[in-house]
């Protein structure tokens, strides 16, 4: 079994040193508790609600920054997936996540789908999200809004992910009484539709008037929530990642083998027919 821990934190906007201490302490506590994978929130080193790109630039770091070695050291053999505000070698800012283990930074992912005003601060990533072979398993990385595009978890699973680790910052939105947060519904569906484990690490508290959902969850390959935050914001679950390798549902049904890729061409076309729809597949007795 592999212990997955999400550490739901409240980073302070613009406080790189304080957030480094906060995240390192969270990684250490998770490792003390037996975590093999530790997921931190999106932009955990910087906070989220920047009003200008200059504010973000002040706390942006490169993957060479010593904080990643501190995560690795605190993790004592576990894998850490955490969000940070990246300064690229090209001078652009990216909303990124690092995958770190004792050997260093294994991969950096730059968020593909930027949410709302992030577009005024960050440059979208141009590379496929990584599926990283780690000692704890094959970990795919997505960030927040990426998860709301069903193409993304599906692509990660087609590329071999057993676990999707997703640093997120989910602003609280209204929902009907008794329902889970909508982002959790989407994550549950992504897990079940792909038989993949999903670990979403949200943040807590309020920042510049934005209240966060505190929706952190570790979700099974069948789409059920296994771990939710305790009073300290720690969501943990012990899972058998090998279960994600078997996509069969019955003797005759298999989630990946049953796909019909030749039917999905609309997904990779740049054309969207929301304005006018060609008269599709109209049936008449004469046409048969």
User: Which residues have a Cβ under 8 Å from the Cβ of 214 and sit 6 or more positions away?
Assistant: 8, 202, 203, 204, 229, 233
Tell me how far apart the alpha carbons of residues 203 and 116 are, in angstroms, rounded to a whole number. Answer: 18
SS3 41: coil
Beta carbon of residue 264, minimum distance to a copy of itself (angstroms, whole number): 4
Tell me how far apart the alpha carbons of residues 168 and 145 are, in angstroms, rounded to a whole number. Answer: 8
Task: Write out the binding residues for a copy of itself, residues 24-63 only, by CB under 8 A.
Answer: 63
247 is catalytic: no
- Catalytic hit among 6, 85, 144, 200: 144
Tell me how far apart the alpha carbons of residues 9 and 63 are, in angstroms, rounded to a whole number. Answer: 21
Near a copy of itself by CB under 8 A: residue from 54, 66, 209, 263: 263
The answer to the question of residue 108 lying near a copy of itself (CB under 8 A) is yes
Beta carbon of residue 18, minimum distance to a copy of itself (angstroms, whole number): 26
**C-alpha neighbours within 13 Å on the C-beta side of residue 156:** 33
Tell me how far apart the alpha carbons of residues 148 and 117 are, in angstroms, rounded to a whole number. Answer: 17
Near a copy of itself by CB under 8 A: residue from 54, 91, 209, 277: 277
Mask: binding to a copy of itself, 118-157, rule CB under 8 A, as x and -?
-xx---x--xxxxxxx----x------x--xxxxx-xx-x
Mask: binding to a copy of itself, 88-107, rule CB under 8 A, as x and -?
-x---------x----xxxx
Tell me how far apart the alpha carbons of residues 141 and 156 are, in angstroms, rounded to a whole number. Answer: 8
Beta carbon of residue 288, minimum distance to a copy of itself (angstroms, whole number): 5
**Chain length of the chain:** 288
Task: Write out the binding residues for a copy of itself, residues 196-225 only, by CB under 8 A.
Answer: 222-224
201 is catalytic: no
If one counts every other C-beta atom within 10 angstroms of the C-beta of residue 102, the result is 13
Near a copy of itself by CB under 8 A: residue from 54, 91, 116, 209: 116
Near a copy of itself by CB under 8 A: residue from 12, 28, 92, 175: 175
42 is catalytic: yes
């Amino acid at each position: 079994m592999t212990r997955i821990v999400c550490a739901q934190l409240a980073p302070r906007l613009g406080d790189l040193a304080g957030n480094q201490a906060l995240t390192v302490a969270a990684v250490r506590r998770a490792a003390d508790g037996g975590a093999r994978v530790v997921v931190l929130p999106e932009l955990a080193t910087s906070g989220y609600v920047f009003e200008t790109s200059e504010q973000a630039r002040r706390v942006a770091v490169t993957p060479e920054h010593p904080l990643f070695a501190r995560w690795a050291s605190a993790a004592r053999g576990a894998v850490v997936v955490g969000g940070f505000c990246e300064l690229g070698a090209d001078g652009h800012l990216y909303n990124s996540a690092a995958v770190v283990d004792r050997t260093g930074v294994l991969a950096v992912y730059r968020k593909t789908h930027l949410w709302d005003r992030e577009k005024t601060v960050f440059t979208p990533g141009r590379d496929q999200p990584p599926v990283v072979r780690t000692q704890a398993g094959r970990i795919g990385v997505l960030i927040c809004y990426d998860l709301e595009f069903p193409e993304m978890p599906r692509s990660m699973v087609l590329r071999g992910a057993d676990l999707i680790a997703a640093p997120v910052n989910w602003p609280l939105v209204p929902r009907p009484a008794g329902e889970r947060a909508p982002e959790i519904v989407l994550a549950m569906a992504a897990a079940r539709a792909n038989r993949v484990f999903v670990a979403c690490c949200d943040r807590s508290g309020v920042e510049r008037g934005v209240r966060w959902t505190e929706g952190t969850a570790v979700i099974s390959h069948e789409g059920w929530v296994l771990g939710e935050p305790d009073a300290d914001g720690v969501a943990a679950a012990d899972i058998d990642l090998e279960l994600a390798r078997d996509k069969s549902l019955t003797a005759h049904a298999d989630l990946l083998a049953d796909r019909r890729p030749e039917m999905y061409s609309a997904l990779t076309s740049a054309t969207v027919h929301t304005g006018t729809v060609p008269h599709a597949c109209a049936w008449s007795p004469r046409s048969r």
